[in-house]
Amino acid sequence: MNNYLEKVFEKTSFCRHFENYVYKKVQDKTIKIPVYLSSGQESTPCSISAFLKEKTLEPNIFIQHRGHSTYLAFEASPEKLIDELLGLKTGCAFGMGGSASIQSIEKNIYGHDGLMGSQVPIAVGHCYQTKSPTIVFMGDASAEEDYVGAAIGWASTKNLPILFVVEDNNLSILTEKKMRRNWHMHELAQAYKVEAYDIGDDPTEISNHLTNVFKKPLLLNIRTIRKYWHSGAGIDGDYFDRYEWLKETLPFDTTKIDQINKNKVEALWQSRLEKL
Q: Which does 191 bind (CB under 5 to 8 A by kind): Mg ion, ligand TPP, none?
A: none
Q: Which amino acid is at 21?
A: Y
Pick 114 or 234: Cβ nearer ligand TPP = 114
C-beta of 24: minimal distance to ligand TPP in Å?
Answer: 21
β-pairing, 60-62 vs 134-139, is parallel
State which residue, 132 or 172, has the beta carbon closest to ligand TPP: 172
Q: Which of the residues 139 through 198 are near Mg ion (CB under 5 A)?
A: 139-141, 169, 171
CB of 35 to Mg ion, least distance (A): 16
- 193 part of the interface to ligand TPP, by CB under 6 A: no
Interface with ligand TPP includes 176 (CB under 6 A)?
A: no
Q: Is 169 in the site for ligand TPP (CB under 6 A)?
A: yes
CB of residue 267 vs ligand TPP: minimum separation in angstroms? Answer: 29
Task: Report which DSSP code applies to 250.
Answer: S
Smallest distance from the beta carbon of 116 to Mg ion, in angstroms? 10
CB of 247 to Mg ion, least distance (A): 24
- Under rule CB under 6 A, residue 179 binds ligand TPP: no
Each residue 114-133 as x (binds ligand TPP by CB under 6 A) or -, in order, gives xxx-----------------
Q: Out of 141, 213, 257, 268, point to the residue binding ligand TPP (CB under 6 A).
A: 141
Asked if 140 touches ligand TPP (CB under 6 A), the answer is yes
Residues lying near Mg ion in the complex (CB under 5 A) are found at 139-141, 169, 171
